[in-house]
Amino acid sequence: MVTYVAFHWNILRCMSYSVDFMRSEKTQTGTKPPPTASILENARLRHLPADRLPGTTAELRRLRGSDKERPKCTPRAVASAVARLLRSGAHFVLMEAMTHYIYSSAMSDWPWMIEKLDLASVVGFVLAFHFFFYIRYVFTYGFAGALAHAEGIEIPPYAKCIARLNKCTEFWRYFDRGMHLLIRKYFYEPLAGGRKGPGWLVLGTAMSFVFTWFWHFMEKGDGIWCALSVLGISFEVFVTEIRKWTPIKNIEKRYLGTPERMREAAALL
């Protein structure tokens, strides 16, 4: 499963880089890219030590977008890299254990088992399943981040814990950060642009999740999840617009004037 996910993410990364690189070269210089660019980028995608090849160090720094030198191989740097890799290894072991005991393919083959579970068991299974997906992304991004950190490349941190996410927009924005950035750049922004009206927000969100459903082979379960996500985000957009009305502002000021009251209202909604 890890190989399957990594393979498809690598395809997305290559497609994203190709589009960005061709667009930047066309708009900035109008010339062909240097012959070493494709070699270096393919090496970067596969985490090969391309910066050890002669004559490519400066070009690799340009692709990185940074003029920083490669970090020195000090005992502290080695210990930090090893510690990050060991932490990713622990996440991998936990992910494999959760794959064996929690993964829902067994439930898809035996749907009658859900009917035999009580409410607490169903809720616990769903919560554990969400944590399984979270751990999977922590390993996928954490392992690549550990290798990048050893090369002196700083990348954004992996997703927030799902226990800290209480909005559909936060779940969509922070859970799978890479997927969110790709869809926002190539689907949401070209459609909605700089328009901030609620209709454009909902339309851009709907089209983004249509692509997400397509990317997941248009299966029924993923379609239901995408539809619920669009519904939840649409509801948040609706609540945000309602809160701009003067009567609603007065009600909030009178009854929800403290942060504690506002958190309670947010939890109920």
pLDDT of 184: 85
Give the DSSP letter string of 232-248. HHHHHHHHHHHTTSHHH
pLDDT of 24: 65
What is the dihedral sign for C-alpha 138, 47, 39, 5? Answer: negative
pLDDT of 53: 42
Distance from C-alpha of 221 to C-alpha of 57, rounded to nearest angstrom: 47
pLDDT of 233: 92
Distance from C-alpha of 44 to C-alpha of 33, rounded to nearest angstrom: 17
What is the dihedral sign for C-alpha 141, 147, 150, 155? Answer: negative
Which residue do the tokens 């909902």 mark? 202
What are the domain boundaries of the chain?
Answer: 1-65, 75-163, 166-268
pLDDT of 56: 44
Name the DSSP letter for residue 51.
Answer: G
Distance from C-alpha of 80 to C-alpha of 192, rounded to nearest angstrom: 42
Residue 74's CB is within 10 A of a number of other CB atoms, namely 9
Distance from C-alpha of 191 to C-alpha of 178, rounded to nearest angstrom: 19
Distance from C-alpha of 52 to C-alpha of 214, rounded to nearest angstrom: 40
Q: What is the dihedral of CA 8, 14, 20, 23, to 10 degrees?
A: -120
pLDDT of 49: 46
Name residues of the chain where pLDDT drops below 50: 47-60, 63
Q: What is the 3-state secondary structure (H, E, C) of 15-32?
A: HHHHHHHHHHHHHHCCCC
Distance from C-alpha of 129 to C-alpha of 135, rounded to nearest angstrom: 10
pLDDT of 127: 85
